[in-house]
């Protein structure tokens, strides 16, 4: 009898193999090891049957059917179908075939079930293994990413350190020849800062590339060419350091109006270095000298702009003070006229009450005059462009060919002229024209445009002095149809002429 299907010991004592009830399959697995101290389970005896595969069973069945067919052929040929032993043999063969078929089907079903179980088990194990592998892979990826990031940061630090080392080395070399980073006036200029940065870059490159000084290349010292080269190199550094120090001092001493002085000072330093280095033909390169001179120009340009801005700010504040004075005068005049009108109105009421017709008429005329004056004051206060245009000169201070053209909104425009002729000038101003205009700002601007090429101060446009004569101003007013009642062409200059007469000299024009 065949043994039941199950796991039995294999030829290898450490493994077990699956018996499907009729034959051995290919499925094996390690034998389970008993726990420490536990009794060893009884081993199942392997079934003592032949191992018959499905192919072998089919071949045997086919052979049996072929044998039966041969027997039937013999019976047909010899008429021996009645023999009982042949019938029994046929029935036996058929029974054996049926048994083989059922065994084969059972073995196939068992094999399928076992394969399904094994497949599920292997899939489960594969999923677990895959999960572990994915977790390990994620850990490895994180570690690789962390190491990559650390390497990147480290490379960045190394590159920064190398760049810093190069920069420090370069800075040390530049400072060795007296080229330091110092505050430059143009650094804060929005317009000149980029030009200054480019200029400084060119200066540093010239020093680094040995293009700041030039000297002989065949000099020998004590008969040694190497000592000669060292001597030339040392002298070049010393004299270049002296030149750069002089350039820095010249720049720090530069003011808005002394650019020529600073540049001359630096040029003399370069010439003195050339004289000192005659023995080895050492001198400052012309291009390098030009770069340092341009550096002085940038400083002077920025300082001039700053000075002009300060001047304009002072003039703006002065203009605001002038406008405030004008507004205060207009308000005071308005208050005075209001008070005067109220007085006249009260007098008019009294006269009308007393029946004084002539006195009441006079009061009404005065009230009308006050109302007209109030209208003019209100117009002046509301119209900021209305005011007085003045053309004045000061022969004793500025000469015959210079006038000042301006405007004021003051009620008494001569107050402004008197203020301009204070103790800051030696003589009072002479007035050539002083007239009211509804658009005094426009008339002043027209005259300024007409004589723009004759301005005395071309930087600060609030300085309203021009190299023109009163005659030329009068012609410009006529050309633009400006209504003017009175214009004095010849200045009186009484104080100036009297002063010249006292010292016995002729009153010649100053300037």
What average pLDDT does range 119-136 have in this prediction? 88
Q: Which single residue is written with the structure tokens 């594969």?
A: 126
Q: Supply the mean pLDDT for the chain.
A: 78
Q: How many domains does the chain have?
A: 3
The model's pLDDT over 91-107, given as tens digits with 9 standing for 90+, comes to 776 787 788 788 888 88
Please report which confidence band the pLDDT of residue 201 belongs to, taking 50, 70 and 90 as the band edges: confident
Among 277, 308, 339, where does a domain finish? 308
Among 140, 170, 201, where does a domain finish? 140
Please report which confidence band the pLDDT of residue 322 belongs to, taking 50, 70 and 90 as the band edges: confident
- Would the pLDDT of 83 be above 80? no
The model's pLDDT over 285-317, given as tens digits with 9 standing for 90+, comes to 888 888 888 888 887 777 777 776 777 667 777
Among 87, 110, 140, where does a domain finish? 140
Per-residue confidence (pLDDT) for residue 82, from 0 to 100: 47
Question: Is residue 77 domain-resident?
Answer: yes
Identify the bridge partners of residue 283 per DSSP, sorted by sequence position.
Answer: 214
Domain extent, residue 445, equals 385-511
Q: Comparing 209 with 316, which gets the higher pLDDT?
A: 209
The sign of the CA dihedral 453, 458, 461, 466 is negative
The model's pLDDT over 154-180, given as tens digits with 9 standing for 90+, comes to 888 777 776 665 554 555 454 555 444
- Would the pLDDT of 278 be above 80? yes
Question: Is residue 66 domain-resident?
Answer: yes
Please report which confidence band the pLDDT of residue 450 belongs to, taking 50, 70 and 90 as the band edges: very high
284 and 201: one domain? yes
Query: Which of 65-69, 348-352, 507-511 is modeled with the greatest confidence?
Result: 348-352
437 and 497: one domain? yes
- Measure CA 64 to chain center: 98
- Would the pLDDT of 343 be above 80? yes
Report phi then psi at 432, rounded to 5: -95, -35
Question: Is residue 511 domain-resident?
Answer: yes
Q: How many CB atoms lie within 10 A of CB 59?
A: 12
- Would the pLDDT of 393 be above 60? yes
Question: Is residue 166 domain-resident?
Answer: no
- Measure CA 251 to chain center: 29
- Would the pLDDT of 368 be above 60? yes
398 and 461: one domain? yes
106 and 192: one domain? no
Question: Is residue 106 domain-resident?
Answer: yes
Question: Is residue 481 domain-resident?
Answer: yes
- Would the pLDDT of 506 be above 60? no
- Would the pLDDT of 387 be above 70? yes
Question: Is residue 258 domain-resident?
Answer: yes
Question: Is residue 461 domain-resident?
Answer: yes
């Amino acid at each position: 009898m065949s043994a039941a299907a199950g796991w039995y010991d294999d030829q290898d004592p450490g493994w077990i193999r699956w018996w499907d009830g009729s034959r051995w399959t290919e499925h094996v697995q390690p034998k389970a090891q008993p726990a420490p101290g536990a009794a060893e389970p009884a081993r199942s005896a392997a079934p003592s049957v032949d191992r018959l595969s499905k192919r072998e069973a089919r071949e045997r069945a086919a052979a049996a059917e072929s044998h039966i067919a041969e027997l039937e052929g013999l019976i047909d040929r010899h008429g021996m179908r009645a023999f009982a032993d042949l019938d029994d043999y046929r029935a036996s063969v058929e029974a054996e075939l049926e048994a083989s078929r059922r065994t084969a089907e059972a073995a196939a079903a068992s094999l399928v079930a076992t394969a399904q179980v094994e497949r599920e088990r292997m899939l489960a194990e594969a999923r677990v293994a895959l999960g572990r592998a994915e977790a390990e892979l994620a850990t490895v990826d994180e570690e690789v990413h962390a190491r990559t990031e650390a390497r990147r940061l480290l490379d960045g630090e190394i590159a920064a350190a190398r760049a810093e080392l190069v920069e420090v080395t370069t800075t040390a070399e530049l400072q060795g020849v007296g080229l330091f980073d110092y505050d430059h006036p143009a650094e804060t200029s929005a317009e000149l800062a980029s030009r200054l940065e480019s200029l400084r870059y060119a200066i540093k490159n010239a020093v680094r590339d040995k293009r700041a000084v030039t000297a002989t290349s065949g000099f020998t010292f004590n008969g040694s060419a190497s000592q000669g080269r060292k001597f030339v190199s040392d002298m070049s550094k010393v004299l270049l350091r002296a030149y750069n120090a002089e350039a820095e001092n010249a720049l720090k001493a530069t003011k808005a109006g002394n650019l020529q002085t600073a540049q001359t000072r630096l040029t003399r330093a370069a010439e003195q270095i050339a004289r000192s280095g005659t023995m080895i033909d050492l001198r400052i390169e012309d291009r390098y000298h030009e770069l340092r001179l341009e550096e002085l120009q940038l400083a002077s340009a920025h300082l001039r702009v700053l000075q002009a801005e300060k001047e304009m700010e002072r003039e703006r504040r002065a203009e605001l003070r002038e406008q405030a004075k004008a507004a205060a005068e207009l308000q005071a005049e308005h208050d005075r006229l209001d008070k005067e009108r109220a007085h006249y109105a009260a007098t008019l009421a009294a006269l009308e009450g007393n029946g004084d017709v002539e006195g009441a008429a006079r009061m009404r005329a005065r009230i009308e005059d006050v109302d007209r004056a109030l209208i003019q004051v209100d117009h002046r206060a509301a119209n900021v462009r209305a005011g007085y245009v003045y053309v004045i000169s000061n022969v004793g201070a500025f000469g015959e060919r210079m006038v000042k053209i301006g405007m004021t909104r003051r009620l008494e425009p001569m107050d402004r002229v008197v203020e301009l002729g204070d103790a800051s000038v030696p003589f009072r101003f002479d007035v050539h024209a002083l007239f009211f205009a509804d658009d005094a700002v426009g008339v002043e601007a027209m005259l300024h445009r007409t004589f723009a090429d004759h301005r005395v101060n071309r930087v600060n446009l609030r300085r309203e002095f021009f190299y023109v004569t009163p005659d030329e101003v009068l012609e410009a007013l006529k050309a633009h149809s400006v209504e003017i009642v009175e214009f004095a062409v010849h200045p009186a200059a009484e104080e100036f002429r009297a002063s010249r007469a006292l010292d016995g000299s002729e009153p010649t024009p100053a300037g």
